[in-house]
Amino acid sequence: MSKKANALSQSNRRKSKRYEVVEEIFITFKPGFKFVGKLMDISTGGLAFEYIIFGEHEIPRMANAYIFSQQHFDLTRLSCKIIHDDRIDCERAAGVHQIRRCGVEFSNLSGLELNQFLELFRFACKELL
């Protein structure tokens, strides 16, 4: 399947509208807090982020996410499921480090958490076409 057809197929499967994160917002996971990633896009159903690791790594399939920014946003203990964790091929990503992109699906957001996400969308996101 071509990249374009795969992207179209992926977008047709999405349950929620995605928004590009245009502010500096970061994510890490408990237990361990072993790495920090930068949010790339987000929806009410999940998010995608990119991160850099050195050497071996392991992300638990179920985890508690901590999402934060320097200025406006701090959301802790979000229960989530890791959907994919893929290496990004990049000319500069050779050697002992890897640049990776990870997809996360939220598990049962509370009303308060959903309201916090709406606030995040307002100040940090723009709609993806």
Q: What is the CATH number of the domain that holds 94?
A: 2.40.10.220
How much is the pLDDT for 108? 81
Sites in the chain below the pLDDT cut of 70 = 1-14, 72-73, 90-95, 128-129
How much is the pLDDT for 123? 77
Domain extent for 24: 18-127
Residue 88 domain-assigned? yes
Q: What string of DSSP letters covers the chain?
A: --HHHHHHHHHHH-SS--EEE-S-EEEEEETT----EEEEEE-SSEEEEEEEEES-----SEEEEEEEESSS-EEEEEEEEEEEEEEPP-TT--TTEEEEEEEEEE----HHHHHHHHHHHHHHEEE--
CA distance linking residue 72 with residue 91, whole number of Å: 34
pTM of the model: 0.78
Residue 34 domain-assigned? yes
Residue 98 domain-assigned? yes
CA distance linking residue 23 with residue 69, whole number of Å: 8
How much is the pLDDT for 107? 82
How much is the pLDDT for 103? 94
Residue 49 domain-assigned? yes
Q: Please provide the average confidence, as pLDDT, over all residues in the chain.
A: 78
Residue 13 domain-assigned? no
Residue 10 domain-assigned? no
How much is the pLDDT for 39? 94
Residue 56 domain-assigned? yes
In the chain, how many domains are there? 1
Residue 100 domain-assigned? yes
Residue 26's nearest CA partner among 36, 15, 12, 34 is 36
